[in-house]
Copies of this chain bind each other. A is one copy, B any other.
Amino acid sequence: MGNFQVRTDLALEAREGITEGECGELRGVRVEEEYEEAKDIRVTKVMIETKNAAKLMGKPVGVYVTMEAPALVEPDEDYHREISESFAAQLLKLFPDGDRELSVLVVGLGNREVTADALGPQVVDHLYITRHVVKEFGKAAYNCSKMNLVSSLEPGVMAKTGMETAEIIKGVVAQTKPDVLVVIDALAARSTKRLNRTIQITNTGIQPGSGVGNHRNALTQEELGIPVIAVGVPTVVDAATIVGDALKKWMDEEDDKFDSRLAFAELNNMYMTGKDIDAVIKRVSYTLSEGINLAMEKKMVVYDA
């Protein structure tokens, strides 16, 4: 059994769900928006700054960056290099300050054998890995005075390993001591309109469940001792959610009339995805890999100056 776990939701949607557009005025929450017209990329940055705001938003204190790039769903010979560049810039803003070299572990979550869940593993396939070379031959191998060390891991799914993904990652982090963890994952969106065209980046890591109970499986700075940056792209829509939402829209009902998940029990283990999902995953994973590669290289170049 390689169950496709819907692990997180889009912060942007959480915000929409709760605050209906007046989010900017909520105390402890700041929102910045920016639009790159030439690239048609809209960047929304939600900063949850107080515990109280975190409680109201149902999301931990931290920064949530959402890049909406409609071009991402379209084929492109260069795998949307222009989006990779913007993504690299956003990613670097969440990295630790300072000019020292970093050792960065990039983890691709998900299941390589389920197309819509293969984003993480496929991103990891195309990274430019340097840690082992620098460890063996020094930075001289790359003719650099400064050099980030990049390593990667594809932990696999619990049904195949018998271990929680978090257990594997914690062990590897404790052993190899990276400075930063970057976690890539496919997400579930609430509506089809953000599917495959939205990149979410957050410095809060990944927290399974609603934050109650034990934190054994969390991938957070608190648990791991190093900054954890989570990158996600919604590739599926939860089936019960979309059916419920469609139903509400059609019936023009209030939000709280019924819980669509209860209404459609038969849909509870199903998800919905596009018919060209294989091509989409391939393309988006290249765009993200290239963005991470650029970020690692840029960081190096910047600090060389």
Contacts and interface: CB of A to CB of B under 8 A. Distances in A.
Interface of A: 1-6, 75, 111, 113-116, 124-125, 129-133, 149-154, 156, 158-164, 167-168, 170-176, 192-193, 237, 239, 242-243, 246-247, 250-251, 263-264, 266-267, 269-279
A215 to B, nearest CB: 15
B270 A162 contact: no
A262 to B, nearest CB: 12
A172 B124 CA distance: 19
16 contacts: A4-B277, A132-B158, A132-B164, A167-B175, A168-B172, A168-B175, A170-B175, A171-B171, A171-B173, A193-B266, A239-B242, A246-B267, A250-B263, A269-B276, A270-B272, A270-B275
A246 B244 CA distance: 9
A162 B175 contact: no
A274 B279 contact: no
A129 B159 contact: yes
Nearest to A275: B4
Given A153-B161, A274-B270, A174 B176 contact: no
Contacts of A193: 266
Contacts of A278: 2, 111, 113-114
